[in-house]
Homo-oligomer: A and B are copies of this chain.
Amino acid sequence: MQEVKSLYAAACDLYNKLQPHYGACKTLFVAAHAKLLENADYSHFGNYAGTPTVPYYVFLLKAPRVASRPVRPDLYLSDPKDFLSRHDEFIASLQTAPQSWNEQQRTCANRVIYTAVLSVACCYDLWQRGSRKTPGTFFEILIAGILQVMLPHAAFTKHIPLASLLHDKDVEEAAAEPESVDGSDVSTDVAASTQPDSEKDSGVSTDLVIGIRDQPGGIVVPLKITTRERIVQPFAHQRILDSAFGEGVYKSLLMCISETQLDEKTQSVKQVCVPGTIKLFQKYLARLSGIYYCDVPQRYAAEDMKRTVIVKSVGDFFADVSEFLAAHGAR
C-alpha cells in the first residue's frame, strides 16, 4: 500500500503545483488496479433489488474479513490488458470532439473513469480505511487531469473561494476561513486531504471550474463520491453564482460516482437516492445544468426525474462541456 500512497501523494503534489498531472494519475490507478488483482478477491457480494436487479461485486480480504465498497462488474474493467487498451482508446478519443462520440466511445469513457476511480477507492477501503477523503480527492484530481488533456487551452481553476470569485471586498475573508475547526472530516478538497493540518472552509469553495479565457463565467464541476457529502452544496453555490453574475453565466455540471451502501446483514446493496430533495432544490434553490453518473442510480433514470433535471452518464459529460465551450466560442 506504501507504493499506492506515494503515487497518490505525487499526483496531489503536481496538481497542487498546477503542473500536468494526468500521467501521475495514470501511474497511480494502474498500480491500484494491479494491487487489487494481486492481493484481494473480487467476487459477487449481493444485489440491488431494483427492476432489473443489479448485481454488485466487492474486493475482499479474508482474514480479517474486510470488504471494499460495492463495485458494478458491468462497468469495472477487471482485466488489466482490457483496461489499458480501453484507457488508451478513451484518451485518444479526447482528441476528437466528444459531441461526435458514438455510443461505444461514451460507454468506454464511462467505464475507464469508473475503473480508475474505484481501483483507488477500493485500495483505500481495504488497506487504508482511515483516509476517508482520499477517494473523493482522487476523483477530483483525475477529472481535472482528463479535462486538461481534452482542453489544453482552457482556463482551469480549482476550489475557487466564491468570495474571491466575486471580487467582493466585503466577503473576501470567506476565502480564508474555516467553516468549522474540525471541518476536515467533511470536505473533499485536495488542500485538506494532502495538508491534514490546514483548516478549510468547505462551505464556500467550489470544486473544479472550467473558465473561458477573457470571458466571465464558465462551468463549475462539483464532484461527489460518497453519500456523506451534502447535496445542498452544489445547488447553494449555483444560486450564489446566479445572484452575483446573473443566471446562465456559470453552469454547474455535478459529477457523481458510487453512491451506494453495502448492507452486510442482508447481503445486499442500496443505491442511495434523494430524488425528492433534488427536485426541491432544482425547483426552488437553483438549477444544475446536469447530473452525470458513471453508475446512474435506477431511481434517477425514471421519467419523473427527467422532467426536473438532466441525468446522464459521465460518458456524456465531455460532450456537454465541449458543446458549452463551443457555444461560447472557446473551442
List residues of A whose CB falls within 8 A of some B CB. 162-163, 166, 168, 170-183, 186, 201, 203-204, 227-228, 230-233, 235-236, 239-240, 243-244, 261, 270, 272-277, 279-281, 283-285, 304, 307-308
Q: Is the CB of A177 within 8 A of B277?
A: yes
Given A239-B239, A274-B203, A285-B236, are A231 and B280 neighbors across the interface (CB < 8 Å)? no
Cβ of A180 to closest chain B Cβ, rounded Å: 4
Cβ of A298 to closest chain B Cβ, rounded Å: 15
Residues of B within 8 A of A270 (CB): 181
Residues of B within 8 A of A186 (CB): 186, 228
Cβ of A266 to closest chain B Cβ, rounded Å: 13
Tell which of B204, B231, B232, B275 touches A277, judged by Cβ atoms closer than 8 Å.
B204
Q: Is the CB of B240 within 8 A of A281?
A: yes
The answer for the CA separation of A272 and B261 in the assembled complex, in Å, is: 34
Residues of B within 8 A of A244 (CB): 284
Residues of B within 8 A of A228 (CB): 180, 182-183, 186
Cβ of A297 to closest chain B Cβ, rounded Å: 12
Task: Specify which of A172, A178, A182, A274 lies most central, judged by the most chain B CB atoms within 10 Å of its CB.
Answer: A274
Q: Is the CB of B236 within 8 A of A232?
A: yes
- Which residue of chain B is the closest to A260 with respect to CB atoms? B181
Q: Is the CB of B308 within 8 A of A170?
A: yes
